[in-house]
Amino acid sequence: MAKLLKISGICLGLVFAAEIGAGYLNFQRGSERGFGLAWLADRVQSQMHKPDPRVIAMSAVYEPRSTALRQVLEKSYTAEFDAFMQTARERACNVAMLYIPTDPTFEVARDFYAGLAEHADIPFIDMEPVKQNFGPELLYLTPGDTHPSRLLAHLTANVVAEHVRTTGTDSCEGNNSAEKSLVGPWVKNLSEIRETAKGLAFRFTSDAFGFRATGIQTESETAPSILLIGDSFTYGTSLADQDTWPALLQSRLPEYQVFNAGVGGISILRQHEILKKATQDTRADLVILQVNETDLQGLLPAYWTEMKRPPTHSEEIAGFFP
């Protein structure tokens, strides 16, 4: 019996030491993040995960040898974008496209989206000229992760705020903001700690409408609304609620109501669904669709197999597998 207790004590001591060690390695772990051993097991499992051989990297989509593939993706995206714009024109007074590139070398991507905006006769807000003044170590979260840093979020908010101040929503006459009830993609009044694949934890809060919180909104019932739809760049991956560019935009435009409908890992199909849900009972004064090069990659069927939590609706191209 004494021997069994001794062995049990040694085992518990080893587990305790392993927990302390794992917790020390996971230096960002807070009291709400669970056990260090669970974190360590998740990291080991992620390292053992083998990627799907059908997955094509975003850079490969824009290589010369992938021209045929890219043309298929662009054709599919254009069709879905036209459907998005049809809904937007019915349910929004103004529409604009915001381009936040991940890599300036993908000029063909910028030309594609700029062409779509021109064809749809909507403003094209290009962040590339602003980004050229700063190095990647300032614009991105970490090396190898092109999600916007707080600096890029501030720069984006500045550019978009200037666009809104310049264009305004004057053409939105007769839009009764007092009856607005926009609907967001998230559970309402949620507050939790979330973690990205890079191990960066951040606080996520949703507002009473189901959008990611953008801070204090005007109490005016007639304030014009700005609905922001996009991917993780708009959602604000790894950034606190107040550091996302939609929240910074709200602070710069206190006379507006800014709604962050960004969702990570999605492209035009689900963005269209979000637009339809958000405006099912009302119109928005301004809808801004944020895009970048990953939107084409997001149309590849195999792309979803690499996602830890795949979207409910797979954005597949019928009959086409790379």
CA distance 40 to 42: 5
* Model confidence pLDDT, tens digit, residues 293-321: 988 877 765 554 444 443 443 343 333 33
Domain ranges of the chain: 2-48, 67-306
Which pLDDT score is estimated for 32? 44
The stretch 173-184 carries a mean pLDDT of 65
Which pLDDT score is estimated for 25? 54
Q: Taking 70 as the threshold, does the pLDDT of residue 96 lie above it? A: yes
β-pairing, 92-99 with 284-291?
Answer: parallel
272: left (phi over 0), alpha (psi -120 to 50) or beta: alpha
Buried b (16+ CB within 10 A) or exposed e, 116-136: bbeebebbbbbbeeebeeeee
The stretch 260-287 carries a mean pLDDT of 92
For 63, residues 6+ apart whose C-beta sits below 8 A from its C-beta are none
Which pLDDT score is estimated for 28? 46
* Model confidence pLDDT, tens digit, residues 108-141: 999 999 999 999 999 999 999 999 999 988 999 8
Helices (DSSP H) in the chain: which residue ranges?
Answer: 2-25, 36-48, 58-61, 67-91, 107-120, 128-131, 136-139, 150-167, 232-235, 245-252, 268-278, 294-297
**Rounded mean pLDDT of the chain?**
81
Report percent pLDDT > 90 for the chain: 46
Kindly report the pTM of this predicted structure. Answer: 0.78
* Model confidence pLDDT, tens digit, residues 9-48: 777 777 667 666 665 555 544 444 556 666 667 666 666 6
> If we measure between CA atoms, which residue out of 163, 281, 273 comes closest to residue 226?
163
> If we measure between CA atoms, which residue out of 58, 23, 61 comes closest to residue 43?
23
Which pLDDT score is estimated for 20? 64
Helices (DSSP H) in 98-236: which residue ranges?
Answer: 107-120, 128-131, 136-139, 150-167, 232-235
Determine whether 172 is exposed, middle or buried from the number of CB atoms within 10 Å of its CB (0-12, 13-18, 19+): middle
β-pairing, 257-260 with 225-229?
Answer: parallel
The stretch 209-237 carries a mean pLDDT of 89
Report percent pLDDT > 70 for the chain: 74
Poorest-pLDDT segment among 48-52, 135-139, 204-208, 269-273: 48-52
252 pLDDT band, cuts 50/70/90, is very high
